[in-house]
Amino acid sequence: MTPPTVSVVVVSRDRPAALTWCLKGLSQLQYASFEIVVIADPPGCAAAQASSFAEQIKLVEFDRPNISEARNLGISHAAGEIVAFIDDDAVPEPSWLHQLVNPVIRPEVAAMGGFVRGRNGISWQWQARTVDELGVAEAVDVSAHRATVLAPKGQRAIKTEGTNMAVRRDVLVALEGFDPGFAFYLDETDLNLRLKRAGHATALVPMAEVHHGFAASPRRRADRVPRDLFDIGSSWAVFQRKYVQEAERRDHWRNLREHERKRILDHMVSGRLLPRDVRYLMGRLDQGYSQGLMRQRGGAHVSRSPVSAFKPFPAQKRVSVVLAGRIWQRRALRAEAAERVRNGEIVTLFLFSPTTRYHHVRFDPEGYWEQRGGLFGRSVREAPLFRMFTFYERVAAETRRIGKQRLID
């Protein structure tokens, strides 16, 4: 069976450097037929135009702070059978698209969601979850190595994350895309609930991995401390009007507000916020909630037929290779890794020190994957704090751990 065509939609605002990093990762995807659709503000467009990918992507300028509107614009320009979404501060593993969309061969599958690793490249940020019509998410057990197809049951929908999900384009059109009432936050949760109400199944695909950096934005700092809670408050108000019984909304909001208050008080106790910041953030949360009570719901504009023809990204068939050495060899090994990326290879660089330090993984702006840590330290958070390895045993173990995602033979 011929793999479906895929449009990868990236929405970018206020983060041109992150967008360039994301595009570098997308350029290494090993998939037969995909296009990249970038919806960006003027600085993001300038960064994309200055990159080596300028002529290979669909680039659309959009300068309003509304992620749902931006994604709908991306859907309108998407000409693939499947529309995949990734954030501008995220980068996919080379096998991401292949893993993510493979379950669509089953006709009942309308949506697919992968797993998301956090900033250290090891810990899970999001895995398999369901969500109910109060917005409460719960973990769900699925296979760690293969896709699990889940049909909606009762009040719970299958949760996907906006930075690692894909949906059939015809289903997105039928559901009128994302609700612009959710300018930021709960936008994909709303879509998940509408998929559930329409009876569509969702596949959760653990091996479809994305690394999400949580880059700084006007809403949060790089350390994830909030700067503004207005959009969170307004989105909860819109969500309540769509899904929560009117008699339950007051208590529902009280609980949500207390959760946010506790979160920012924890930041204050840890020294990351001042008392005046707490007062400001709670005030902005309340202002957003009040505004959301009056905000228009629905009204999405998604073109039934793509605005433009499919623009296949000229993906290069790459061989995945491993480089490894001691941490004191990093300068020479990094230079070699960058050179081999320029020569068209997918490169994984292991740098080990004779310690028990935890491992960290990052996608370097030069285009190679670097994993650093102690030769005896753990790269899986459930592993022992110390485990004896020889250097070559450790290289082999880590290669096996990430081999399928990184397409290492």
pLDDT at 1 over 80: no
pLDDT band at residue 199 under the 50/70/90 scheme? very high
Average pLDDT of the chain to the nearest whole number: 95
Do residues 110 and 155 both lie within one domain?
Answer: yes
H or E segment and range at residue 114: strand 109-117
Distance CA 166, CA 40 (A): 20
299 pLDDT above the threshold of 80: no
- CA–CA separation, 245 and 396 (whole Å): 55
- Rounded to the nearest 5 degrees, what angle is found at the Cα of 361, between the Cα atoms of 15 and 406? 100
Indicate if 270 and 369 belong to the same structural domain. Answer: no
> Same domain for 153 and 122?
yes
Give the lowest-confidence range in 69-83, 178-192, 288-302: 288-302
Q: Is the pLDDT of residue 372 over 90?
A: yes
Considering the domain architecture, whether residues 139 and 252 belong to the same structural domain is answered as no
- Whether residue 223 is contained in a domain is answered as no
Q: Which residues pair with 363 in a beta bridge?
A: 369
Distance of alpha carbon 316 from alpha carbon 28, whole angstroms: 7
Residues 11 and 114 in one domain: yes
pTM above 0.85, yes or no: yes
Residues 170 and 261 in one domain: no
Strand partners, 222: none
Which residues constitute the domain of residue 237?
Answer: 230-292
Tens of pLDDT, residue by residue over 214-254, are 778 888 888 889 999 999 999 999 999 999 999 999 999 99
Q: What is the rounded average pLDDT of the residues 342-348?
A: 97
